[in-house]
Amino acid sequence: MTRLHVVSAATRPTSSGRPLAQWVTGQARAHGGFDVTPVDLAEIALPFLDEPEYASTGNYTHQHTRDWSALVDSADAFLFVLPMYNGGFTAPFKNAIDFLYNEWKGKPVGIVSYSAGPTGGAPAADMLLPILTRLGMLPAEHSVAVPGIPKLIGAEGFEAPEALSGELAAVLADVAELAAKRAAEIEAEAVVTV
């Protein structure tokens, strides 16, 4: 089964993204094709990049980097749930990406963005895509943008608009398809090398 990490990219203590990420995690579990692990960057609490060597070497000095590397490496695919602040994605999220290199390569990724305003964070997702592609990740064709996030958080958590489940289902289908193709390629390469 595809190991999917749902990464909540917000680090602000009162972020609306956590209830959204919990809802996304539940939807991914209900999909049935994933072994889902929620990951909260606020809990990971990485410092600003403090490794003396380039991430591409894989030579990590600090335990926090080795732990982050192991967590990211253990995933087959990702769903990033990210806020938009001032028209872009956050520095802590970029920092978390930059700590690593090879651990991201070749892995499918879906994006769920959100904002208080009408764009739903789509500009932040658009800004992130070239970075993911440069890392060799495989972005899903579909994405989800959730506008007006503060109004969607209630006493029971995130209250999804009716159409949102279908939009997320399309992202999950893309990620599942990309993960299946990647698994088949890895298996074929293993047969060739034997």
Instruction: Give all domains of the chain, ordered by start, each with its CATH number.
Output: 2-193 (3.40.50.360)
| Residue numbers in the chain where pLDDT is lower than 50 | none
Distance CA 76, CA 119 (A): 29
Q: What is the pLDDT of residue 63?
A: 98
Single-letter residue type at 187: E
Q: What is the pLDDT of residue 194?
A: 59
